[in-house]
Amino acid sequence: MAKVPYISSEAMEDIALNILTAYEFDFEDVVFPKPTPIDEIIEFHYDLDVAWEPIDHFDPEGSVMAAIIPSQKRIIMNESQKDLFEEKIGTMNFTMAHELGHWVLHVDDKDNLQTALSLKEKQEVFYCRSHSMRSPIEQQADMFAGAILMPKPVVEKFIGRFKAARTIEMGQLYMLANCFQVSISALCVRLDRLGLLYVHKGKVYNSRSEYEGQIAFDF
């Protein structure tokens, strides 16, 4: 794939919600947000194999968290990071969702995988790192992960309720992150991207521009 096609935020939300709907995951009618069953969606809805194997691939740009081999319909979670993944379920879910994002968004010819090979520069194996210079396809996979793990209508509903009650504290955001089984940082990125809230150094602002104006969330 020579160039990465642009995907708008709206299109990304639609892609994620369509997958959840197709999987018949009832995310809307709930008292508390539910975690997206990302491992089930990967294995049963997309028929991708998730394997745990040590990945020794050296990468100066950061530790490798996972990889995808499109021609084998295989996601490999780095077993060497298993302690981290077990400690932080949110990191594990986000990593899996990110890999599914590559499959959904970046593997061109899913019916003809021999010729479709893969993502960047026809690599057979595509490695994903924890932190690195985020290339467009990495950013898109991250956006996809945020959108499928934290469905927009659910996030809007609960943040709306918090706002209506006139109290938004970090504790509520931790509770929300816990319900979705994502990390607090993944939730904060999502809230900023949706323009719902902006969190900086443990303080909650109505928006990034409000933060830039240094007005704390306070009624």
The radius of gyration of the chain from alpha carbons, rounded to an integer in Å, stands at: 18
- 86-124 per-residue burial string, b: 16 or more CB within 10 A, e: under 16: eeeebbbbbbbbbbbbbbbbbbeeeeebeeebbbeeeee
Interaction with Zn ion in 16-35: which residues (CB under 5 A)?
none
Question: In DSSP terms, which residues pair with 129 in a beta bridge?
Answer: 64
Q: Report the nearest approach of Zn ion to the CB of residue 42 (Å).
A: 14
* C-beta of 68 vs 199, nearer to Zn ion: 68
Q: Does 141 bind Zn ion (CB under 5 A)?
A: yes
Q: How far is the CB of 12 from Zn ion (least distance, A)?
A: 15
- Reduced to 3 states (helix: H, G, I; strand: E, B; else coil), residue 159 is helix
Segment interacting with Zn ion, rule: CB under 5 A, options 52-60, 77-85, 137-145, 173-181: 137-145
Q: Which residue is nearest to Zn ion (CB)?
A: 128
Using the rule CB under 5 A, which residue among 128, 159, 168, 197 binds Zn ion? 128
The stretch near Zn ion (CB under 5 A) out of 57-65, 110-118, 120-128, 149-157 is 120-128
Amino acid at 70: P
Lookup: tokens for 150: 């934290």
| Total of chain residues touching Zn ion, rule CB under 5 A | 3
Distance CA 102, CA 113 (A): 14
Instruction: Give the binding range for Zn ion (CB under 5 A) out of 30-38, 56-64, 134-142, 197-205.
Output: 134-142
Q: Which residues pair with 51 in a beta bridge?
A: 76
Q: What residue ranges bind Zn ion (CB under 5 A)?
A: 128, 138, 141
